[in-house]
C-alpha cells in the first residue's frame, strides 16, 4: 500500500547511521586495543590514527542520530513511533528534549553523546594513556550501540530502534489499512509526553545526570589501562576526572531530588526509592575512590583500594542501569522503566551482559596483578591524614553496599524464586542505619584535614582543632535545645542519633570553613577541598533538620468526629488530606485556608489553583499556586504539581491530592417544606434549625437593593459530624415584585430558598431545600513544612563549587609546572 504524507528519508539515514556508529565503535575498540599493546613505534602511531578516524566517524554518527531524532520530533513526523509516542503538537517546544529522554533508547543515546564528548577530551589530554582508556570507552560505546539496534537475532530482539516506523513496529493495528492514517486525529496530534515529565527540571536533570553517569567510565578506564599495562602513574591525571565526575554526578542526583521536591507529589525530595539509591551508591563509591586516590598520590598507601573502588563504581553504574531499565524493579519503585513481557528476556540478557563485559575482565586483571601492586608494609600512623581518609572511604563504601544490597531484593527474588518484599517502613529501614553512617562521615570530614599526611605533632593538632570543636558544640547545642527537634516517633535511640548527627554535620561545616584560615592561611585558591567539605556538611545539616522536623500542616481536624473510630483502626495513620471547597474558609491548624480561584493556562494545559493561607495570629499570609494537569496516555485523572512558599528558614509545601470538577448539570429540584421558627428539618447529611425570621436585618443589607423590604431566615445547618454552618435565605419585596435570595452551603451541596409566607398568624413559612450533586467543586490538599531545606540546596551548590575550585587548582598547577 502507498501511504500518504510519510517522510521516510530521515529514518533511512538514521538506520544507516546507527549501523555506522556501531561498526565504527567496534573498529575504534580494536584499533585502540592493538595500539595499546605496542611500544612507541610507527606501527602504534598508525593504529592510533586509524582508531581516531573511527572514533571521529562514530562521533559524527551519534550526533547526527541525535539531531535526526530532534528533527523528527520537532516536525511531528508521527509515522515514527518514537515521535508519536513521546510528543504531541500541543506540547510546548521547551519540552522537546524531554521527549528524547522519556524513551529507553533516547536516554541511551544521550549517554552515548556524552561518551563521545568525554572521549575527545581524553584524546586531547591523556597522552600515552589514550590507547588504553579509549579502548575501554569505545567498548562501552559498542555496548550502548547495540541498545539502539532493534534487530532480531534468533527470535530475540536486540535493543530498541528509535527510527522504527509505527506501522512496522505494530503492523496489526487496523489504522494502517488506511493510506491516510497520519491524518487520523489521534495520530496527527501525538500521544504526548508523560505529564510528570513536563517540567523544567526534566529538561536539565537527565543531561547532567547522564554526564555524571558517563564520566565514571574515565576513572575506570584509567584503572583498567593501568592493570593492562602494569603502570600506576595514572593516579595523578585521573584526580581532576574523578573530581569532575563526583561533582556532576552529585549535582545530577540532587537535581533529580529537586525535581521530586518541586514537581512530583511524593511529598519530599528523597524517598529511598530504588531508582534514587541506584544512582547514589556509585557516587558514594566514587567519592571513596577519589579519597584513597589522594592518599596513594601523597603517601603511597591504598593503591589496591583505589583500583577496587574505581572498578566497582563503574560496575555499579552499569548495575543501576540494569536495575532501572530491565523492569525488575516494577513492584518496588514508582519510577523505573517498565518493559513488556515479550522483550523482557532479551533486555535482561543484554543488560546483564553489559555489566559483566566490564566487571569480569577488570576483576580478573585486578586479581592477577594483586600481588605485584606496590604497597607499603609499614602501618599508617594514627595521627596521619591517610589513616582517617582510608577509614572514611571504607565507611562510604560499606554504607553504599548496605544500600544497594537492600535495593537488590527484587534481584534476589528473581534468582532464588522467593517473594521477599520491602519492610513495612522502607524509609526508616534505611534511615536508622544511614544516620550512623552520616554521623561517622560528618566527624571524619570535620577533623581529618587537620591531620597532615604521614604524621602530625599531637600538640599542633590539638591547638588548631579546639576552636572549631568548641564553636560546633555551641551551635549544635543551640539547635538541639532550641531547634525543637521532636522526632520521637522512632524511639529514643534514633532521636539521640539525630542530635549526635546534627553535631557532627555542624562540626564538618565549621571545621572545614575554619581550616581555610587555620590550615591554609586564607589561601582561598587552594581551598577547593575545604569548600566541597563545607558543602557536604551543609547537605547533611539540611537533610537531618528538614527530615527530622518535617511536619504535616494539613492535619485533618474538620471531619475528625465521625472518623475517629475508624481512624484508630489504622494505628493512628496520618489523615493528611484537607478538603477545601471553593471560596470556603477552612481551618488548618495555624492557618485559615481559602481556595480563592483557579485558572487554566492554555499554553501548558495546567489548571492553577490560588490558595490563600492566613495565619490565625495574623502574623503571616501568603498564597500557594499548586496545579494539576489532566493525565494523558490513556490515564484518567490528574497529575499534580506542588507549589512552595520559600522562607529563608523553611518551606511551606503544598499539593493537590484530588480534584473534583463541577461538570455535571444540575437536575435536582427544590423540595418544599412548611416550617415555623424553632422547627428542625432533616436533609441527607444532617439537620437544620430555623431559629427566627428577621425583617430588614442590618447584617444582610448588602444583598438587598434600595427600596426593597426584606425578610431573612436565620438558620443553622448542623452536619452529621457536628460541623455548623449559618444559612440565611431571604426574600425581598418592592412594588409587588418578589425576589428570592437563596443561600448555598457549598460544602454540603445544599441550596436553601425562602419561598413564601404561608400564614402570618401562625408564622408558617415555606422553604425549599435542594441537595445537589453538582455544586460541589472541591479539592483535597496536603501541606507540609520543611524547615531549613534551603541549607540542603545551598550545600549542593557549595559542594559543586568546591569540586570546581579544586579541579581548576589541579589543572593550573600542572600547566605551571610544565612552564617551569
Partner 1 sequence: MKKTHIIILVLIAASIVVLISYTGDLTTYETISSAKQKEGKFVNLIAKVDKQQPVEYDAAKNPNYLTFTAVDTLGNSIKVVYHNNKPTDMEKSERLVLKGRVQGDHFDCKDILLKCPSKYKDDPNAAKNAVRNSGK
Angle (nearest 5°) at CA 124 between 120 and 125 = 115
Give CA–CA dist 67/125, Å, rounded.
27
Reading the block at residue 474, the C-alpha cell is 555551641
Task: Please give the Cα distance from 710 to 67 (Å, whole number).
Answer: 73
Least gap, CB of 82 to partner 1 (angstroms): 11
Q: Which of 39/634 has CB closer to partner 1?
A: 634
Q: Which is nearer to partner 1, 492 or 569 (CB)?
A: 569
Nearest distance from C-beta of residue 571 to partner 1, angstroms: 8
> Residue 408 or residue 790: which is nearer to partner 1 going by CB?
408
Least distance to partner 1, CB of residue 70, Å: 20
- Kindly tell me which of 274 and 535 has the beta carbon lying closer to partner 1: 274
Beta-bridge partners for 290: none
Angle among Cα 488, 491, 492 to the nearest 5 degrees reads 85
CB of 331 to partner 1, least distance (A): 6
Closer to partner 1 at the Cβ: 191 or 476? 191
Nearest to 286 by CA among 311, 257, 304, 303: 311
Q: What's phi and psi for 669, nearest 5 deg? A: -120, 170
Q: Give the nearer residue to partner 1 in terms of CB position, either 40 or 340.
A: 340
Q: State the minimum distance, in angstroms, from the CB of residue 230 to partner 1.
A: 25
Q: Which of 320, 217, 253, 239 is nearest to 287 (CA)?
A: 239
DSSP per position, 15-27: HHHHHHHHHHHHH
141 and 217 Cβ atoms separated by less than 8 Å: no
Beta-strand pair 586-588/578-581: unpaired
Q: Least Å distance between CB 471 and partner 1?
A: 29
| DSSP states of 799-811 | HHHHHHHHHHHHH
C-alpha cell at 703: 444583598
Query: Least distance to partner 1 from the beta carbon of 635, Å?
Result: 5
The H or E element spanning position 349 is helix 341-369
Report the residue number, 514 or 577, with the smaller CB distance to partner 1.
Answer: 577
Give the separation between CA 818 and CA 4, rounded to whole angstroms: 64
**Measured distance CA(193)–CA(200) in Å, rounded:** 13
Interatomic CA distance for residues 807 and 624, integer angstroms: 41
Find out whether 686 and 647 touch, Cβ atoms under 8 Å: no
Q: How far is the CB of 414 from partner 1 (least distance, A)?
A: 13
Give the span between the Cα atoms of 740 and 285, in whole angstroms: 74
Residues 647 and 779: beta-carbon distance below 8 Å: no
Angle between helices 104-125 and 200-215 (to 10 degrees): 50
CA distances from 233 to 216, 246, 294, 358 (A): 19, 21, 13, 22
CB of 567 to partner 1, least distance (A): 6
Nearer to partner 1, 538 or 656 (CB): 656
Neighbours of 92 (CB within 10 A): 11
Shortest Cβ 91–partner 1 spacing (Å): 15
Please name which of 385, 301, 325 lies closest in space to residue 108, comparing C-alpha atoms.
Answer: 325
Nearer to partner 1, 180 or 233 (CB): 180
Please identify, using beta-carbon distances, which residue of 356 and 635 lies nearer to partner 1: 635
Report residue 559 as a C-alpha cell: 471531619
Smallest separation (angstroms) from partner 1 to the CB of 409:
7
The C-alpha atoms of residue 283 and residue 644 are separated, in whole angstroms, by 29
d(CA 766, CA 153) in angstroms, rounded, equals 82
Cα separations in angstroms, 393 against 206, 234, 310, 376, 772:
28, 20, 12, 18, 66
Measured from the CB atom, the residue of 355 and 781 that comes closer to partner 1 is 781
Report in angstroms how near the CB of residue 611 gets to partner 1 at its nearest. 15
E strand or H helix at 506: helix 492-518
Q: What is the DSSP string of 655-669?
A: EEEEEE---SPP---
Among 781, 789, 723, 266, residue whose Cα is nearest residue 554:
781
Tell me how crowded residue 467 is: count the other CB atoms within 10 A of its CB: 13
Whole-number minimum distance, CB 355 to partner 1, in Å? 20
Of 459 and 573, nearer to partner 1 (C-beta) is 573
Q: CA 28, 32, 33: angle at the middle one, nearest 5?
A: 115
Considering the complex, state which of residue 222 and residue 354 has its C-beta at the smaller distance from partner 1.
Answer: 354
Least distance CB 433 / partner 1 (angstroms): 5
**Beta-bridge partner residues of 786:** 651
* Parallel, antiparallel or unpaired: strands 551-552 and 156-158: unpaired
Grid coordinates representing 772?
445537589
Q: What minimum distance in Å lies between the beta carbon of 699 and partner 1?
A: 28
Specify the residue, 635 or 758, whose C-beta has the smaller distance to partner 1: 635
Q: Which is nearer to partner 1, 462 or 637 (by Cβ)?
A: 637
- Minimum Å gap between C-beta 790 and partner 1 is 28
DSSP line for 523-581 = -GGG-HHHHHHHHHHHHHHHHHHHHHT-EES----TTHHHHHHHHHHTTT-----EEEE
CA distance 252 to 258: 10
Nearer to partner 1, 662 or 755 (CB): 662
Which residue, 44 or 630, is less far from partner 1 as judged by CB? Answer: 630
What is the rounded CA–CA span in Å between residue 298 and residue 282? 24
Least gap, CB of 788 to partner 1 (angstroms): 27
To the nearest whole angstrom, how small is the minimum distance from the Cβ of residue 435 to partner 1? 12
Q: Which is nearer to partner 1, 406 or 810 (CB)?
A: 406
Amino acid at each position: 500500500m502507498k501511504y500518504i504524507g510519510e517522510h521516510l528519508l530521515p529514518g533511512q539515514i538514521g538506520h544507516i547511521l546507527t549501523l555506522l556508529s556501531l561498526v565504527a565503535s567496534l573498529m575504534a575498540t580494536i584499533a585502540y586495543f592493538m595500539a595499546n599493546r605496542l611500544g612507541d613505534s610507527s606501527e602504534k602511531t598508525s593504529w592510533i590514527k586509524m582508531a581516531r578516524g573511527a572514533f571521529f566517524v562514530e562521533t559524527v554518527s551519534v550526533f547526527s542520530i541525535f539531531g535526526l531524532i530532534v528533527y523528527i520530533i520537532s516536525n511531528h513526523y508521527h509515522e515514527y513511533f518514537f515521535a508519536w509516542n513521546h510528543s504531541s503538537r500541543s506540547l510546548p517546544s521547551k519540552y522537546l528534549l524531554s521527549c528524547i529522554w522519556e524513551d529507553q533508547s533516547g536516554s541511551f543515546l544521550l549517554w552515548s553523546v556524552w561518551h563521545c564528548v568525554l572521549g575527545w577530551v581524553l584524546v586531547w589530554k591523556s597522552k600515552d594513556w589514550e590507547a588504553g582508556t579509549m579502548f575501554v570507552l569505545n567498548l562501552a560505546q559498542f555496548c550502548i550501540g547495540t541498545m539502539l539496534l532493534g534487530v532480531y537475532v534468533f527470535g530475540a530482539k536486540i535493543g530498541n530502534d528509535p527510527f522504527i516506523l509505527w506501522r512496522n513496529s505494530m503492523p496489526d493495528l487496523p489504522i494502517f489499512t488506511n493510506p491516510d492514517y497520519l491524518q487520523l486525529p489521534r495520530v496527527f496530534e501525538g500521544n504526548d509526553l508523560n505529564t510528570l515529565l513536563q517540567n523544567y527540571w526534566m529538561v536539565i536533570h537527565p543531561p547532567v545526570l547522564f554526564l555524571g553517569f558517563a564520566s565514571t567510565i574515565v576513572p575506570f578506564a584509567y584503572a583498567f589501562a593501568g592493570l593492562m599495562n602494569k603502570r600506576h602513574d595514572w593516579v595523578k591525571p585521573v584526580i581532576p576526572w574523578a573530581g569532575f565526575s563526583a561533582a556532576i554526578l552529585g549535582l545530577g542526583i540532587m537535581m533529580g531530588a529537586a525535581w521530586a521536591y518541586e514537581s512530583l507529589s511524593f511529598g519530599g525530595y528523597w524517598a529511598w526509592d530504588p531508582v534514587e539509591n541506584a544512582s547514589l551508591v556509585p557516587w558514594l563509591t566514587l567519592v571513596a575512590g577519589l579519597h584513597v586516590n589522594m592518599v596513594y598520590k601523597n603517601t603511597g598507601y591504598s593503591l589496591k583500594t583505589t583500583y577496587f573502588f574505581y572498578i566497582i563504581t563503574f560496575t555499579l553504574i552499569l548495575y543501576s542501569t540494569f536495575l532501572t531499565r530491565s523492569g525488575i524493579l516494577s513492584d518496588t519503585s514508582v519510577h523505573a522503566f517498565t518493559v513488556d513481557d515479550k522483550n523482557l528476556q532479551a533486555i535482561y540478557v543484554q543488560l546483564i551482559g553489559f555489566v559483566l563485559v566490564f566487571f569480569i575482565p577488570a576483576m580478573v586483571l585486578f586479581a592477577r596483578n594483586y600481588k605485584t601492586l606496590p604497597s607499603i608494609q609499614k602501618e599508617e600512623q594514627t595521627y596521619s591524614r591517610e589513616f582517617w581518609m582510608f577509614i572514611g572511604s571504607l565507611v562510604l563504601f560499606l554504607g553504599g553496599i548496605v544500600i544497594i544490597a537492600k535495593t537488590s531484593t527484587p534481584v534476589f527474588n528473581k534468582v532464588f524464586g522467593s517473594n521477599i518484599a520491602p519492610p513495612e517502613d522502607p524509609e526508616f529501614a534505611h534511615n536508622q542505619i544511614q544516620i550512623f553512617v552520616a554521623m561517622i562521615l560528618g566527624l571524619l570530614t570535620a577533623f581529618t584535614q587537620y591531620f597532615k599526611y604521614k604524621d602530625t605533632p599531637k600538640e599542633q593538632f590539638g591547638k588548631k582543632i579546639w576552636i572549631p570543636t568548641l564553636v560546633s558544640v555551641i551551635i549544635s547545642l543551640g539547635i538541639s535545645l532550641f531547634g525543637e527537634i521532636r522526632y520521637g516517633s522512632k524511639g529514643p535511640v534514633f532521636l539521640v542519633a539525630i542530635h549526635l548527627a546534627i553535631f557532627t554535620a555542624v562540626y564538618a561545616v565549621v571545621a572545614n570553613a575554619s581550616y581555610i584560615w587555620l590550615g591554609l592561611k586564607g589561601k582561598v585558591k587552594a581551598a577547593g577541598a575545604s569548600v566541597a567539605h563545607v558543602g557536604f556538611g551543609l547537605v547533611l545539616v539540611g537533610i537531618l533538620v528538614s527530615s527530622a522536623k518535617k511536619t504535616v500542616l494539613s492535619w485533618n481536624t474538620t471531619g475528625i468526629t465521625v472518623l475517629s473510630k475508624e481512624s484508630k483502626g489504622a494505628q493512628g495513620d496520618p489523615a493528611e488530606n484537607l478538603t477545601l471547597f471553593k471560596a470556603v474558609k477552612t481551618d488548618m491548624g495555624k492557618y485559615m485556608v481559602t481556595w480563592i480561584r483557579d485558572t487554566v493556562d492554555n499554553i501548558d494545559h495546567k489548571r492553577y489553583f490560588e490558595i490563600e493561607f492566613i495565619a490565625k495570629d495574623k502574623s503571616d499570609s501568603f498564597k500557594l499556586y499548586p496545579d494539576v494537569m489532566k493525565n494523558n496516555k490513556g490515564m484518567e485523572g490528574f497529575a499534580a504539581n506542588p507549589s512552595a512558599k520559600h522562607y529563608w528558614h523553611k518551606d511551606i509545601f503544598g499539593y493537590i491530592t484530588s480534584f473534583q470538577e463541577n461538570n455535571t448539570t444540575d437536575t435536582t429540584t427544590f423540595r418544599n417544606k412548611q416550617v415555623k421558627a424553632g422547627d428542625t428539618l432533616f436533609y441527607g447529611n444532617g439537620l437544620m434549625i430555623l431559629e427566627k425570621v428577621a425583617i430588614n436585618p442590618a447584617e444582610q443589607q448588602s444583598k438587598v437593593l434600595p427600596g426593597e423590604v426584606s425578610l431573612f431566615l436565620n438558620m443553622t445547618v448542623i452536619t452529621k459530624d457536628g460541623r455548623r454552618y449559618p444559612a440565611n435565605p431571604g426574600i425581598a419585596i418592592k412594588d409587588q415584585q418578589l425576589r428570592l435570595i437563596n443561600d448555598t452551603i457549598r460544602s454540603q451541596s445544599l441550596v436553601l430558598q425562602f419561598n413564601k409566607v404561608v400564614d402570618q398568624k401562625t408564622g408558617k413559612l415555606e422553604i425549599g431545600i435542594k441537595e445537589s450533586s453538582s455544586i460541589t467543586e472541591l479539592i483535597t490538599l496536603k501541606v507540609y513544612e520543611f524547615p531549613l531545606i534551603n541549607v540542603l540546596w545551598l550545600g549542593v551548590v557549595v559542594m559543586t563549587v568546591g569540586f570546581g575550585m579544586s579541579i581548576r587548582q589541579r589543572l593550573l598547577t600542572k600547566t605551571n609546572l610544565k612552564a617551569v
